[in-house]
Amino acid sequence: MKIINKTNWNTNDLRKIIIKALNEDDRIEGKFTRRNKLEITIKHSKGYPSWVVDSYKRNGKELAPRQRYSGCAYLNGNRMRLCVPREAFIVSQFVRLFTHEMSHIRGIRSHRLIGDVDSKDLEWTRNYSVGLEKTNVKPKVDLQIKRYEHVLAALEIKKTQLKRLQNQIKKWTQKKNYYENILLANGKLKEDKKIDVWDKIYH
Ligand SMILES: [Zn+2]
């Protein structure tokens, strides 16, 4: 049996219920022999048509969530599609739908013949529930914060570079002063030629 779950409902919870429902149905209808070939696709049913939503909005009325369980199956086939609501999950309704589609798969076409599932046969569904699938959605990174952090990092690098340059300038200025003192003392350099351009940076 293959379950293709396209909803936000937990796949394991759905599988447990489907297996139990099929066991119960087998008990009543006889063993379904193609169980391993069964392919069940579960989707979200559509919400209200947009004109209904708009009309409610216009009148300021609140719209109750649409509890729509619908499905289709191949007569005598192996595939069925079950549509379930997005907002809430009622296990008994889901099993009612699944059992109905199983009747088509078992070869019954007529809805009159299929009839409705006896509520007594659905009592077991009270012990079952379906949770939401845990999604590993990464928290959304604030783009402005990310860019600000990038600016901070860039600024830190520039500050380090400036400090390194300032140290180098200090060192070369000391050397300049050393040579100027010697050259002035031995007359090779005249006082007015003393260059102190770097000092401007420091004072
Ligand atoms: Zn039907």
The answer, as to whether pTM is greater than 0.85, is no
3-state DSSP assignment of residue 3: strand
Rounded to 10 deg, the angle between the 11-29 and 91-105 helix axes is 50
Distance 100 CA to ligand 1 centre (A): 6
User: What single-letter DSSP state applies at residue 128?
Assistant: -
Q: Please tell me the class of the 2-127 domain.
A: alpha beta
Distance 97 CA to ligand 1 centre (A): 9
Give the pLDDT of residue 201. Answer: 55
Per-residue pLDDT of the chain (203 residues; tens, 9 = 90+): 999 999 999 999 999 999 999 999 999 999 999 999 999 999 999 878 888 888 888 998 888 777 889 999 999 999 999 999 988 899 999 999 999 999 999 999 999 889 888 899 999 999 999 999 887 666 677 888 888 989 999 999 999 999 999 999 999 999 999 998 888 888 888 776 555 555 555 54
Distance 72 CA to ligand 1 centre (A): 6
Distance 76 CA to ligand 1 centre (A): 13
User: What single-letter DSSP state applies at residue 129?
Assistant: -
Distance 38 CA to ligand 1 centre (A): 17
Give the pLDDT of residue 104. Answer: 96
| CB 62, CB 53: distance < 8 Å | no
**Cα–Cα separations (whole angstroms), residue 167 to 152, 172, 194:** 23, 9, 22
Give the pLDDT of residue 203. Answer: 46
Distance 112 CA to ligand 1 centre (A): 10
